[in-house]
Amino acid sequence: MSKDIIISMIEVGRVGLERTAKAVPEDKLNWKPLDNGRTVLDLLGDAAQAPALCTGMLRGNIQYGPELFKRMAQERATWTREEALNHLAENTRQLIEEIKTFPDEKLDEPLTLPMGGGMTLAWGVWILMAYRSFMSRTAQINYIQTLYGDFESH
């Protein structure tokens, strides 16, 4: 696994998420199809926070757990689309800068984190969690778009 590929994937994911989120009309940003569903704005904010978690991990500050996720949800609850997009851009920029300084030889080294009761993956795979978040949230936003009648490819 190479840092260049990781960075490219993260950037492609960010650009796609940004493009998709910008295509949502203002009156649909806080719409949700079900009472307990998530809004586009919440999904975008969630994805915007993901790179910061990865950056923290690379800096040795591994955080995980219900209290963290509750705090993150409260933080993004007041964000506008523009604020979420700004956080997405800045958090991704910081993650990419951190990736560039990360030793190549460590990318394939295993790291065990508490997710799912304890998961061991290579550092490079953990770093790609930001990309995974971008792609999954983009897909969720795309689905919400179809529910209000937008079938365009954004």
pLDDT in tens, the chain (154 residues): 799 999 999 999 999 999 999 999 999 999 988 888 999 999 999 999 999 999 999 998 877 778 888 999 999 999 999 999 999 999 999 999 999 999 999 999 999 988 888 899 999 999 999 999 999 999 999 999 999 999 998 8
Per-residue pLDDT at 34: 84
How far, in whole angstroms, is CA 95 from its chain's centroid? 11
pLDDT value at position 153? 86
pLDDT on residue 129: 96
Q: Let me know if residue 142 belongs to a domain.
A: yes
3-state secondary structure of 23: coil
Q: How many domains does the chain have?
A: 1
Residue 153 lies in a domain: no
- The answer to whether residue 87 is domain-embedded is yes
Is 152 inside a domain boundary? no
- In the prediction, which pLDDT does 59 show? 94
User: Per residue in 114-153, is it b (16+ CB within 10 Å) or e — as a string?
Assistant: eeeeeeeeebbbbbbbbbebbbbbbebbbebbeeeeeeee
CATH for 37: 1.20.120.450
pLDDT at 77: 95
Domain with 138 in it: 3-147
Q: Is residue 36 part of a domain?
A: yes
Decide: residue 67, CB within 10 A, 0-12 exposed, 13-18 middle, 19+ buried: exposed
